[in-house]
Amino acid sequence: MTETQGVKGGLWCLRMAFCIVYVTSMHREGNDLDKLRIGIIGAGGIAGAHAYAYQRMDDVEVIAAADVVPGRAAEFLGRYGFHQGQAFEDYRDLLQLDLDGVSICTPNVAHFQTAVDALTAGKHVLVEKPLSFTLAQATEMVRTSKQRDRMLTVGFQPRYDPNMKLVRDIVRSGVLGQVYYLQTGGGRRRGMPGGTFIRKELAGSGAIADIGCYSLDLVLDALDYPLPLTVSAFTSNHFGTNPAYHAEADRFDVEDFGVALVRLEGDIVLNFKIAWAMHMDTLGPTLFLGTDAGLRLTPSSTGPWGGIWDGGIGSITLFADQFGQHTETIVPVKEHEVDRFYEKVRDFVMAIREGRPAPIPAEQILRNQAIIDGVLQSAALGREVAIEIPEV
């Protein structure tokens, strides 16, 4: 081979290498622009709501699902029309794929390990609520997300309700003055789930984490999540453990009722109460008391499953003194058909696409989880406990 031939050959190799790199990057860019690649871990009830949301997005493709029950992931993918999707029994096989994001829809017990493994594998993660069993687990999950520079967010769909946003706007406008008392929670007259939700070893917590996380998010988000300091709580499970009220009473070992007094930074106290079942239609309205005005929210329904915990606000009333009189201003609630679940999943997708931070910031998730953790600890110990959120 002459020197010229050698140089020509070298140039040709270089050109080919460039072409391969260019074509590969174009392919990935094309993917980025066209379809985001999503995997779903856990193919049970709520995974269907995720799949239904992804199904309606032209720029998303669910390429895999995993479920420990043999055959369930394949059946699930078929049911939602993701016929090209790969089905796995072990979620770690799913994490080997080139995925942009993962929805974690397993029972609570599996949130921690699946999320940590998904983040470590470089995927963005949307975990169904509650984030985890404990604050320690939640902290580890957030730490992994930061270390791996991957997004971790949690499924708080009531946040996407237009009336929840309205409440946030009212509170953040400053019209209430200095807020010093919050009351939130509520619950169901009869609304106890079964299956994995009622076993401590699988769910970690009952009503407190299941629907309480939403009520906490409603008031804390409006106030930009003040730091929780202490909690004194009581829980019980008179309904769940009674065969007259629950078909799986012999397996029921989580709380179906809880009440707590939580001190927050800024001289704010939060009265939090929640029930899956009770001989009452409501545990009262959600209240914000401020030095200049008060805000009262009532649930849109007091039926067996009704309550503000799910984003259903029936009325918003602002109490103040005006013109030398006590006034009550009714703020009209918005009539809307927003699909909160779709909005939640869409926000996750858009955050990935636009490189935005997690829709629900890590600090907020940790504070929410810290209160749940504190309520359970305080109730178990029968005394007030301090809340300490580790650095991440």
| CB-nearer residue toward ligand NAD: 129 or 159 | 129
Amino acid code (one letter) for 69? V
| CB-nearer residue toward ligand NAD: 46 or 331 | 46
- C-beta of 47: minimal distance to ligand NAD in Å? 6
Dihedral of CA 347/137/44/90: which sign?
positive
| First CA to last CA distance, the chain | 61
- C-beta of 168: minimal distance to ligand NAD in Å? 19
Calpha distance 385→382 (Å, rounded): 9
Amino acid code (one letter) for 352? I
- C-beta of 237: minimal distance to ligand NAD in Å? 17
| Helix residue ranges per DSSP H, the chain | 3-34, 45-55, 72-79, 91-94, 111-120, 135-148, 162-172, 200-203, 207-210, 212-222, 340-354, 362-381
Token output for 328: 């009550």
- C-beta of 317: minimal distance to ligand NAD in Å? 27
| CB-nearer residue toward ligand NAD: 107 or 303 | 107
Residue nearest to ligand NAD (CB): 44
| CB-nearer residue toward ligand NAD: 288 or 342 | 342
Greatest Cα-to-Cα distance within the chain, rounded to the nearest angstrom: 101
- C-beta of 300: minimal distance to ligand NAD in Å? 16
Of the candidates 201, 215, 354, the one whose C-alpha atom is nearest the C-alpha of residue 283 is 215
| CB-nearer residue toward ligand NAD: 232 or 368 | 368
Of the candidates 262, 210, 264, 206, the one whose C-alpha atom is nearest the C-alpha of residue 235 is 206
- C-beta of 130: minimal distance to ligand NAD in Å? 6
β-bridge mates for residue 232, sequence order: 261
| CB-nearer residue toward ligand NAD: 107 or 284 | 107
Calpha distance 372→391 (Å, rounded): 18
How many Cβ atoms from other residues are within 10 Å of residue 252's Cβ?
24
- C-beta of 69: minimal distance to ligand NAD in Å? 4
- C-beta of 193: minimal distance to ligand NAD in Å? 8
- C-beta of 91: minimal distance to ligand NAD in Å? 5
Site residues (vs ligand NAD, CB under 6 A): 41-47, 66-69, 72, 91, 105-108, 110, 114, 128-129, 155, 157, 195-196, 210
**Cis status, amide bond into 357, omega within 30 of 0:** no
| CB-nearer residue toward ligand NAD: 39 or 294 | 39
Contacts of 119 (CB under 8 A, 6+ apart): 125, 141, 144, 145, 148, 150, 152
SS3 269: strand
| CB-nearer residue toward ligand NAD: 46 or 121 | 46
- C-beta of 157: minimal distance to ligand NAD in Å? 6
Calpha distance 259→127 (Å, rounded): 26
| CB-nearer residue toward ligand NAD: 78 or 195 | 195
| CB-nearer residue toward ligand NAD: 263 or 340 | 340
Sheet holding 124-127, edge to edge: 86-88, 60-66, 36-41, 101-104, 124-127, 152-154
- Measured in degrees and rounded to the nearest 5, phi and psi for residue 131 equal -55, -45
